[in-house]
């Protein structure tokens, strides 16, 4: 008499774009039974029956452990964890529909989103807490150097899962891992989320100078000074500087800035080639979160007195008041007064913290994860 295979835990992923679908694959390849929610019935059918998402992940075969539906209640039925992958500017309206279905439960809610709400300036975890009226300890965020198509092709990478509750972070990290995807954990939600938001803005700047035709020196300078801006901003809002030097900060910044797979890099490159902001939006099939986050991030920076010259210049290019060719020279010619490299928050030991963070990550991989998983 044959035995039926033991099914893995049920999880739901709300949103079936490239990243949502990829994360569903990560979870299914880790042993979970995954139900995707897709807004369009035809996409749900393609995922459920064809095990493909040809629009967002062309050429990728999805696991048998993934299915999909366009009914929210069906997607959430029996789910032990819920992952949210919705464009940041549309998340609130989607959460209103989600509230009656998840409010009676205590399941972890995991944000896969990297943006701030344009109207309020709130991080995605704050919008989730506000709209779902839930304990923040139920909420986790996932971030890191995670280009969807590379991961869907099972190229190894790592991410960080962050929650104010260590228990929630650990539970999500145990679920979100497999042979090619490793999850570390921390409790610095502010730093983890802002790292994922701010690197998109620097990636737009890198795309702009790439589109103009500047070379590697220019891009390396912007990445380096961009990390300073990211750290100053996040620390001013309560983040730990080491978080910005980890997977959610430096790691994500490098991946997003240097890859043609990055939507934000692509949007910037089109701007650098002379396309208007409106033309770029029309050409982009998927959301480039950095474009929507520039204005609210600069407003938040102003409120805490943090200078972000690179992001300011991105805004001027978007507004059409700066020639894209002028974004990089401002790194060298704006002010004749010599300035130190240290960040505004005075972290003189930043380089040491960076070395320690990289060494810690290397040690984790060397010992096969036997130590405590911390980002």
Cα-based distances in Å from 212 to 248, 284, 300: 28, 19, 29
User: Residue 59 burial by CB count (10 A; 0-12/13-18/19+): exposed, middle or buried?
Assistant: exposed
Cα-based distances in Å from 364 to 94, 100, 182: 38, 41, 10
Backbone torsion region of residue 36, taken as left when φ is above 0, otherwise alpha when ψ lies between -120 and 50, otherwise beta: beta
- CA separation for the pair 131, 100 (Å, rounded): 11
H-run or E-run covering 160: strand 157-162
Residue whose tokens read 């010992």: 367
Q: Residue 359: which of 374, 347, 344 has the closest Cα?
A: 374
Specify the 3-state DSSP secondary structure of 357.
helix
Pull the structure tokens for residue 184: 């570390």
Residues acting as catalytic residues = 199
Residue whose tokens read 């500087």: 241
């Amino acid at each position: 008499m044959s035995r039926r295979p033991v099914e893995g835990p049920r999880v739901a992923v709300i949103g079936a774009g490239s990243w949502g679908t990829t994360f569903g694959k990560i979870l299914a390849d880790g042993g979970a039974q995954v139900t995707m929610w897709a807004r369009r019935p035809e996409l749900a059918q393609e995922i459920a029956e064809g095990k493909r998402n040809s629009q967002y992940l062309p050429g990728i075969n999805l696991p048998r452990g993934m299915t999909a539906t366009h009914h929210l209640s069906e997607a959430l039925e029996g789910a032990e964890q819920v992952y949210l992958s919705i464009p940041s500017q549309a998340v609130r309206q989607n959460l209103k529909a989600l509230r009656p279905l998840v409010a009676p439960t205590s399941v972890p809610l995991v944000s896969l989103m990297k943006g701030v709400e344009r109207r309020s300036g709130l991080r995605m975890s704050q919008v989730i807490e506000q709209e779902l009226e839930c304990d923040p300890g139920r909420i986790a965020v996932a971030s890191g150097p995670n280009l969807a198509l590379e991961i869907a092709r099972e190229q190894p990478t790592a991410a960080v899962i962050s929650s104010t509750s260590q228990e929630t972070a650990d539970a999500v990290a145990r679920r979100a891992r497999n042979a090619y995807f490793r999850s570390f954990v921390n409790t610095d939600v502010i730093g983890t989320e802002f790292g994922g938001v701010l690197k998109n803005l620097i990636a737009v700047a890198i795309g702009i100078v790439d589109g103009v035709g500047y070379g590697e020196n220019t891009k390396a300078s912007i990445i380096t000074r961009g990390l300073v801006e990211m750290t100053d901003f996040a620390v001013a809002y309560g983040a730990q500087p080491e978080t910005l030097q980890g997977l959610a900060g430096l790691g994500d910044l490098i991946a997003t800035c240097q890859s043609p797979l990055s939507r934000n890099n692509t949007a910037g490159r089109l701007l650098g080639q002379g396309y208007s902001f409106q033309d770029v939006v029309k050409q982009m099939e998927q959301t480039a979160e950095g474009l929507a986050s520039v204005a609210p991030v600069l407003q938040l920076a102003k409120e805490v007195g943090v200078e972000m010259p690179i992001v300011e210049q991105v805004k001027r290019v978007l507004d059409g008041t700066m020639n894209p060719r002028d974004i990089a020279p401002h790194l060298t010619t704006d002010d004749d007064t010599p300035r130190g490299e240290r960040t505004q928050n005075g972290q003189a030991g930043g380089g040491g913290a960076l070395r320690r963070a990289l060494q810690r990550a290397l040690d984790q991989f060397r010992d096969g994860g036997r130590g405590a998983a911390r980002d």
